[in-house]
Amino acid sequence: MSALLLDHVAIATPDLDLGAAPYVALGLHPEGPDEEVAGQGVRVRAFQVGETLIELLMPTRPDSPIAAFLDKKGPGLHHTAYRVADLAAEMARLNAEGARFLTPGPVPGRAGTQVAFLHPKWGQGTLIELVQHPAPAGAAAQEVSRH
C-alpha cells in the first residue's frame, strides 16, 4: 500500500457560500474560519472528510489562477493534493525524473503549509499539488534538546 496521503481535493467556485451549499446539505461543517492565501489570490473554506479535506477556492483578484480557471472551465474540480514529509526532497527527486513544477521551490499554502504544483500536462490532464505540513509544536524543541 502507498504511504502517500490524499491531503485535499480543491474545488473552484466564484462564491464560497454557493460552493459550500452541497457539502453543508451533506451534513459537513466548515473546519474553522475561511482563510485568505494572498500569494495564490484565493479565499479558502475547508471541510474535513475522514483524513482529507474538501477545499473550496474563491478568487480574490482578477489575476488569481482560480479566476482564470473559472473563466475557462467554470466551477468544479481544480486539483488534488498529496501530503509529503519533505517537500524540497520530493521536488528534487521528481525534478531528476523530468517532472514539471510550476515554481522552482515550495510556496506558502493554507494553514502554515508549504506547497508546490505540477503542471496539468505532466499530470495527464489534472493539476497535482504536493503539501508539507508544519512540524507539530514541540518537535523543534525536541530536536534542539537532542543536540
Ligand X SMILES: CC[C@@H](C(=O)O)C(=O)SCCNC(=O)CCNC(=O)[C@H](O)C(C)(C)COP(=O)(O)OP(=O)(O)OC[C@H]1O[C@@H](n2cnc3c(N)ncnc32)[C@H](O)[C@@H]1OP(=O)(O)O
Q: Give the binding site for Co ion (CB under 5 A).
A: 10, 81, 129
Residue with cell 509529503: 84
Beta strands in 1-147 (DSSP E): 5-12, 35-37, 42-49, 52-59, 76-83, 107-108, 114-118, 127-132
Candidates 14-22, 83-91, 124-132, 133-141: pick the segment binding ligand X (CB under 6 A): 124-132
Give me the count of residues in the chain.
147
User: Which set of grid coordinates corresponds to residue 84?
Assistant: 509529503
Q: Does 126 bind ligand X (CB under 6 A)?
A: yes
Question: Interface mask (CB under 6 A) for ligand X, residues 8-47, using x and -?
Answer: --x--------------------------x--x-x-x---
The sign of the CA dihedral 45, 78, 51, 49 is positive
Name the minimum Å distance from CB 58 to ligand X: 10
The site partner of 102 among Co ion, ligand X, none (C-beta below 5 to 8 Å per kind) is: ligand X
Distance CA 122, CA 30 (A): 32
> What's the number of CA atoms in the CB half-sphere (13 Å) around residue 70?
20
Nearer to ligand X among residue 37 and residue 142 (C-beta): 37
The site partner of 42 among ligand X, Co ion, none (C-beta below 5 to 8 Å per kind) is: ligand X
Distance CA 83, CA 52 (A): 10
Q: Does 69 bind ligand X (CB under 6 A)?
A: yes
Name the minimum Å distance from CB 44 to ligand X: 5
Interacting residues toward ligand X by CB under 6 A: 10, 37, 40, 42, 44, 57, 65-66, 68-69, 72, 78-79, 81, 102, 109-110, 113, 115, 117, 120, 125-127, 129
